[in-house]
Structure 1
């Protein structure tokens, strides 16, 4: 069974206090979210205490986490919601979230997407792209300019090129070489 939010906050507190991504601005956002939307969790006096700039941010944040644990399960749950809204990267790197993702699928076929790899389209790099693009441009030049005397008999070149490519590309290249007038 899953841990309660109270137990999760107990486990995550040390990580949260030590995390450098939780700066003064983010702590203020979390305090204001809890104060404005849930005044029963964090009243105005308590919010003012946790937003006092004379006290270091790490101390204020540690006191806020202890205060939320005293308030109970609902306060801890609302803290996690506020953290998810204002600092998604911190939220997904919490020890309880990481362990939950790892234990969700013990067979190792977890389909959860790593946030760092969400926007990676191709890991082969720019040289691979330039190579593919050059081949495409070369084939286009052979196709459009191959009929004249500019490149000679391009159909023979395309016929030999078909030896090292995949089945579909080979079919296209061979069909071009078989066609007498050079059009597909």
Structure 2
């Protein structure tokens, strides 16, 4: 027996892992199974109707290495009938032209595979130049945008608000 939500993340510096753990803590361990994609098979996403994906953007808008390693396998999965929310980590001051780009890449992939995406997050209040992680109109990110380098003091409140939003959008409100 597994929890209703599968949370899959890749993390090189442990910040994405810590955010994943905070999300699981906020939602409750009975609701969320954590999966570090470096340690398991990405095909396990097919075992869940509700998915949360966590991805940091590396360097100049690149995928994190664990996501890059399973990207081709992810592309073969069928996510029709699944609902997915995403969160990303980035550095809006150090990499303002690529802030949350990997979040945008993963969102495009998940939607292409048939998942319904939820958990969009307002872009207001962030300071960056460009992002592939924005909705078409540029008003929202395609998932929760966290910046542990420059705005770590805002992360807990953002995670709290986003978790409540995602549970409503999943139809699993506690």
Q: TM-score, normalised by structure 2?
A: 0.24
Q: Would you tell me which structure has more helix in proportion to its own residues?
A: 1
Q: Over alpha carbons, which structure has the higher Rg?
A: 1
Q: TM-score, normalised by structure 1?
A: 0.23
